[in-house]
Chain A
């Protein structure tokens, strides 16, 4: 099966199609690229609207601060492009948070793909949450072969509140949405690219969508 995935996702020389990581200047993209490379799939970095539109699948990464990341998206026009994409899109960490309506971080308006808001953890827990925590109540084909209470690596100070798009939950002071899915849009708060073999399986599942 892996072979088929590779075949369908290897970008032709034109750069069209394939797996694209949306490159808008937000953080640690290398790790995501390497995680796919370990699965035998080349992920291309691109900020070109035409290339992004013609990709088979897209990763929407994000590390850093929400308002400056949104500013970069607006400047490149990606803020209007992304919500209209039809192919599978996977937002990771801040990428997922920016796909929500709003985030408290820098009082930022997001892309409004997931009908929920992102708020800061209360001070009854250490912030950021940093390390391995479990994901449960798994409800997406993204989690095929992933057992309930599997450990994932998370680093974040803000969390998405539950909504009808919640497909995984995690407890850290509160119970919150650690993964979201709405139509072709997927979002994970954790870093599958850094979450050992279970994380790799989730990326593999995304490729197989």
Chain B
């Protein structure tokens, strides 16, 4: 059976991890490569690198980081942040990234999703969607969740699926940073309406939240940052708990 995936997300700036990372046995906690290797060893199924600065000047540094990750890490990884052109994606894939994620750039120019799927295949196109509820309706937000739009989350997700997205990374801005659980109702609705995998993001605080998002949220994968980086939830223990709750995981 296809397993549910556990995905640590690393925020990157100028080729270095930025969010506080508290791994005792790392020589250099700011080195994304070393952190990635560590995660691969403890059983992470995939990794996401989010370039939070994503400036044009910093692009070369990020490419260099991608190359070093691909060289040393033996699990798949996605790169996101500030990606808006076919050429940029080409460069990232050439350096060994398995997938790229696009967000605001796809909202501004939806054809980008078609272009990427046609040229590189749907399997490497992740569309990240940040949304929060406004008057009970899930609305897509841009620029890391700071700019609201009038676009409906479910309509947008359906549209990018039709345009060739291979996967949706849905972050609930209402849940992100709360450590109170994932947006399972919205996730379950996405999963029911779409036929591509859905990654849950935003709200992970404890093991039960992961159990809930796989069972109630019907998520295919769950992404989190701080609970992994600070060792609050060790991945091997998380996976054992998931298995004990009859959730198929790779151990």
Contact = CB atoms under 8 A, between A and B. Distances in A.
Are the chains A and B members of one assembly?
Answer: yes
Interface of A: 27-28, 30-31, 34-35, 37-38, 63-65, 123, 126-134, 151, 153, 155-157, 171-172, 191, 193-197, 199-200
A123 B1 contact: no
Interface stretch (B94-102, B151-159, B208-216, B228-236): B94-102
B188 to A, nearest CB: 14
Interface in B103-140: 118, 120-124
B28 interface: no
Q: By DSSP majority rule, is chain A's interface helix, strand, loop, or mixed?
A: mixed
A28 to B, nearest CB: 6
A131 B220 contact: yes
Interface range on chain B (Cβ under 8 Å from partner):
20 to 34
B187 interface: no
A165 to B, nearest CB: 24
Contacts of A155: 76, 98, 123, 166
Contact of B3 (A37, A151, A200): A151
A27 B93 CA distance: 8
B250 A199 contact: no
5 contacts: A27-B120, A34-B70, A132-B3, A133-B2, A191-B76
B45 A195 contact: no
A194 B3 contact: no
B87 to A, nearest CB: 16
Contacts of B195: 123, 126-127
A30 B90 CA distance: 12
B95 A30 contact: yes
Nearest to B44: A196
Nearest to A123: B195
Nearest to B4: A131
A196 B40 CA distance: 8
A172 B248 CA distance: 13
A172 B3 CA distance: 11
Contacts of A130: 123, 166-167, 197, 220
Contact of B1 (A37, A63, A133): A133
A157 B250 CA distance: 21
Nearest to B198: A126
A131 B221 contact: yes
A37 B73 CA distance: 12
A197 B74 contact: yes
B5 interface: yes
A32 B123 CA distance: 17
A203 to B, nearest CB: 10
Contacts of B221: 131
B48 to A, nearest CB: 14
